[in-house]
Amino acid sequence: MRVLNTAALTKAGKKNTPLRNALADWLETTEAAAWESIHDMRQTFKTADGVPVKVAGMGIVVATVFNIKGNEFRLIAAIDFESGVVIVKEILTMRYSKAQIIKTSDDYLDLIRQFPLRRLRGDSDHDEAVRMLGRLIGRKEPQLSTGEREYTEALGMFVQEYDERVRPFPRKKSTPLQMLKYLMEQNGMNSESLGKILGNKTAASLVLNGKRELSKAHIRKLADRFKVDAGLFF
C-alpha cells in the first residue's frame, strides 16, 4: 500500500519514543500490505475498526481506526483499496470522539468517490484529474478543509507522475547567468537595478558581462529578491 501524510506520524511520535516505534511498525507493515478489501486489511490488523461517517451523496461510509501501542492510541486513516492508497488522518489518544473523525474524513471521502486516487490510466483520467484539481487549487471561499487539502496533494502527485511518464516536457539546463537575465527581464530590471540588489553596481555590471561569477552572498540576495531556490543560481 502507498501511505500518504507520514508527516502526521512524525509529528505524533516526535516526543514519544515508544509511540514513534509503534507507528514505525504500523507504517512498515502497511507499506508491505496488498489489501484489496476491508477483509484483507483485517487479515493484517485484526482489531482495525470502522467508524460510520455520513458523506454527501454517498450515505454512510467508513473511516478506518487502527489501534496503536496496544490500545493507548488510535490512528485514523482513509483507505482507497482500488488505488492502494492509505491517507493518515490523525493520531488520537484512546479517548477520541467520532466527531473528530468525521471532521477530518468527510470531505476527503466525498472527493475520493467523485474521482478515486489511483495511477492515471490515460489522457481521459489525466484530464479529469486536472479538472478536479482546478476546482480546488486556488479556491479562496470557502477555504479548503483538511480533507480537501490532503486529497489535492495526493491527486497532484498522480498528475505529476503521469506528466513525467507520458507527457514529459523537454527541459533545458540554463546557466546561472541565463536565469538571472531571464528573471531581470521578467521584472523589468537593468544593470542599475541589479546593482541595488547586490549592493555594488560594478559587481552587477561584471556579472552581467560574464566577467565575474555570482558570490554566495549575491546568490542569497537574489534568491530572496526573486523568491526562488538558491540552487537556480549555482
Q: How confident is the model over 164-213, as pLDDT tens digits?
A: 899 887 777 889 999 999 999 999 999 999 999 999 999 999 999 999 99
Architecture of domain 2-166: 2-Layer Sandwich (3.30)
Domain map (residue ranges) of the chain: 2-166, 176-233
Tens of pLDDT, residues 180-192 = 999 999 999 999 9
What is the reported pLDDT for 112? Answer: 82
Q: Is the pLDDT of residue 153 over 80?
A: yes
Q: Is the pLDDT of residue 43 over 90?
A: no
Query: Residue 138: in which H helix or E strand, if any?
Result: none
What is the reported pLDDT for 97? Answer: 45
The answer to whether the peptide bond before residue 142 is cis (omega within 30 degrees of 0) is: yes
Residues with Cβ within 8 Å of 180's Cβ and at least 6 positions away in sequence, in order, are: 194, 207, 208, 214, 222, 233
Q: Among 29, 91, 98, which residue's Cα sits nearest to residue 66?
A: 91
Say which residue the cell 521578467 belongs to.
186
CATH assignment of 176-233, given 1.20.1090.10, 3.30.750.24, 1.10.260.40, 3.20.20.70? 1.10.260.40
Q: How many helices (H) and strands (E) does the chain have?
A: 10, 5
* pTM of the entire predicted model: 0.53
